[in-house]
Amino acid sequence: MSANRVRDNGFENQTLGMPVGAPWQSINTTTIVSGGAQLEGNFAASLSQGAAITQQLRRLIPGRSYTFTAAFSTGAGSGTIDVSIGSVTRNYQGNSVVGAFQEYATYVFRFNAPAATPSLTITNNTNTTVKVDTIFVLLQEDK
């Protein structure tokens, strides 16, 4: 299995109740949460309306195929959860995230690396809070 290109992918190196910190950068209101609000481990990131988290990924091989995976949890809001890796963007409808606010839905997409060190950005463009946990970017292994 290839190494995850996302640093602190489960927010386990963060501090409960504080904004999302390094190696992530946060925009607008983000908070580290726990107490059953996380999917795995001790913590998850909570993004308010219009908030985003971003980080430069560990080195990718341009043109090679990678898989992005992340778990999202939200109320039944409208708008989108947007994931960008360099020039590659996917938009997930907030009202399609399955389950109640304490449950998570996992989303996956494949992409070809647009550059060696692209940034990963997850933006909450819904009208409610979004929780994020267990984020992976993995090289697709040749079979």
- With a cut of 90, say whether residue 14 has pLDDT above it: yes
Best CA proximity match to 115, nearest among 67, 58, 69, 70: 58
Tens digit of each residue's pLDDT (9 = 90 or more) over 41-93: 889 999 999 999 999 999 999 999 999 999 998 876 789 999 999 999 999 98
**67 within domain boundaries:** yes
Looking up tokens 């209101």 gives: 29
pLDDT of res. 101:
52
**Residue 78, domain extent:** 25-139
Domain presence at residue 81: yes
Q: What are phi and psi of 53, to 5 degrees?
A: -125, 145
How confident is the model over 100-130, as pLDDT tens digits?
A: 556 888 899 999 999 899 999 999 999 989 9
Tokens 């999202």 map to which residue? 72
Domain CATH number, residue 108: 2.60.120.260
Strand order in the sheet with 44-47: 30-33, 44-47, 130-139, 65-74, 105-112
Q: Is residue 117 part of a domain?
A: yes
In a domain, 134, yes or no: yes
Q: Judge whether 107 lies within some domain.
A: yes
Q: What is the number of domains present in the chain?
A: 1
Q: What pLDDT score was predicted for residue 135?
A: 96
Say whether pLDDT at 143 is over 70: no
Residue 89 counted as domain residue: yes
